[in-house]
Structure 1
Amino acid sequence: MGKWVFLRGLMREKRHWGQFPDLFGATVPEAEIVLLDLPGNGRLHMERSPARVEEMTDYCRRQLLSQDFLPPYNLFALSLGAMVAIDWATRYPEDVAGCVLLNTSLRPVSPFYHRLRPRNYPALLAVGLLGMVSRNTGRQERLLLRLTSSQGTGQSAVLEQWIGYQRDQPVTLGNALRQLCAAARYSAPRHAPSMPLLLLSGGSDQLIDPRCSQELARQWQAPLATQAAAGHDLTLDAGRWVAEQVRDWLAKLHSMA
């Protein structure tokens, strides 16, 4: 099934995938998976986050080449990571065999009030998310879990893990703002990348409007599957469903080859 590169979203790192990579590997046999951190997150938290998606893409490409992990790749990407995947597939199509894009939102495909639901603005500002006040790590991660998972903060084990990740490898204020800037300024290409695409969406996404994925699928004539009960962190809320969607998509591509 080839090489797979997993890319997370805004202020998240590869540990936030949780158990999903193991589930994916069991569902998509022979997948060779590499988990990447975007600069400024995870083990790269001391690096300066670029303020442009294109620079994130180039950084990721260099990471893989330095590890002798050579293309072509299948890109599996969530949110901001999906913007990186789209840019990668657009500017370096020879690198990319296919893309699975989860809960992404793009300018000018969707208006700003769909890309980040306005009802979340007060909560995000109140908790100091944009300020990344380190002493409020617990409150910050509790809010993020509530916004990104339809299962809410009842997942105490997940919440404790997320708090630990932020305390261990904190995302700085500057890096958080640069990542937000990169996501806000990135524009989708007019035409879809040339390789096979699959869009996956959470119908109960509280962070961005699911219509963002619907409109992108319509404009690009790309297949879209929606899990009605899942939130923004689709692999957390519906990991088995996600893996099965990818497995079935790959089988369909194989049958058409």
Structure 2
Amino acid sequence: MKQSTPFVLIRGLFREQRHWGRFPALLSKAFPDSDVICVDIPGAGRRNMELSPTSIESMVDKIRDDFDARVPVNIIAISMGGMIGLQWAAMYPDEVNSLICINTSAKNYSTFCHRLRPKNYFNIIKAAFSNVKYREKAIYSLVSNRPENTEVINGWISYADEYPISKNNFFRQLLAAFRFDITRPVSCRVLFISSLNDNLVSHIATKAIAEKWLAPMIVNTLAGHDIPLDDPQWLCDKVESFITHSH
């Protein structure tokens, strides 16, 4: 029976738990006494037949429904997942021990053009209406700074074929993300991680929240938006350092 505080991993827009790639296994190796629980947002992954909520608050409650015990958890979350993590900690402070937010944003701290770089608007809409192969290749080019990896993209295509996301849910998730604003959670330690060379969301969007809250922030200078994809071991090392020093 694993005794230490469990980790809950939450992905972002249009992604499901398998998009964490190698990272959960690395995290399990670093924390062998902790459960690592990857969740799906309604409308994605195993929950693809559900309707995606149009508010982050509702996403929190839907994800919480999957948890039997109300034990405090360590949340690691990326992009819109970071919004869900922040909202979870704000709404249910006794349930979140620590929170690590990767490349996230909120409308009350950043402008629209920082939260989603203007050069990507057309590409994202086009991807939504394209076939799966085109869409996943396009998403890879938006979120990764590494050379195109056919093996990874083919994996993503197989996930999308198995659990397709509807166009309706695609836009409902976008709406929820753009409507999101946040007040600082009072009871858990928060670490922000951002990619200096994020081509999807401006580095300034994460930095703005961290600076306002006087919260620690770590910057990755190489990875794209999807740090778990581009630099999973680096991310695991940063998580280990933060969690170890929080006790």
TM-score category, normalised to shorter length: over 0.9
The Cα of 1:192 is off from its aligned counterpart by 4.1
Please tell me whether the aligned partners of residues 89 and 185 of structure 2 are also in contact (alpha carbons under 8 angstroms): no
The Cα of 1:188 is off from its aligned counterpart by 1.5
Q: Deviations over 1:53-84 (max 9, x none)?
A: 1111001111112xxx4311111111111111
Please tell me whether the aligned partners of residues 5 and 74 of structure 1 are also in contact (alpha carbons under 8 angstroms): yes
Unpaired runs of at least 5, structure 1: none
What amino acid maps onto 2:71 in structure 1? P
Q: Deviations over 1:109-165 (max 9, x none)?
A: 01000000011123223xx2243x4xx11111001000001114x211001001111
Unpaired runs of at least 5, structure 2: none
The two structures have a TM-score, normalised by structure 1, of 0.92
The structure 1 segments of at least 4 consecutive aligned residues displaced by more than 6 Å after TM superposition are: none
CA distance in 1, matches of 2:32, 2:203: 30
The Cα of 1:25 is off from its aligned counterpart by 1.2
The equivalent of 1:42 in structure 2 is 45
Q: What secondary structure sits across from 2:222 in the alignment?
A: coil
CA distance in 2, matches of 1:38, 1:57: 9
- Give the number of aligned pairs: 244
The equivalent of 1:251 in structure 2 is 244
What amino acid maps onto 2:21 in structure 1? G
The two structures have a TM-score, normalised by structure 2, of 0.95
CA distance in 2, matches of 1:222, 1:103: 14
Residue 236 of structure 1, aligned match among 217, 229, 247: 229
CA distance in 1, matches of 2:103, 2:87: 16
The equivalent of 2:108 in structure 1 is 108
The percentage of aligned residue pairs carrying the same residue is 34
Q: What secondary structure sits across from 2:110 in the alignment?
A: coil
Alignment RMSD: 1.2
**1:13 aligned onto 2:8:** no
What amino acid maps onto 1:243 in structure 2? C
Please tell me whether the aligned partners of residues 142 and 200 of structure 2 are also in contact (alpha carbons under 8 angstroms): yes
Please tell me whether the aligned partners of residues 103 and 201 of structure 1 are also in contact (alpha carbons under 8 angstroms): yes
Most deviating of 50-59 and 25-34: 25-34
**1:144 aligned onto 2:139:** yes
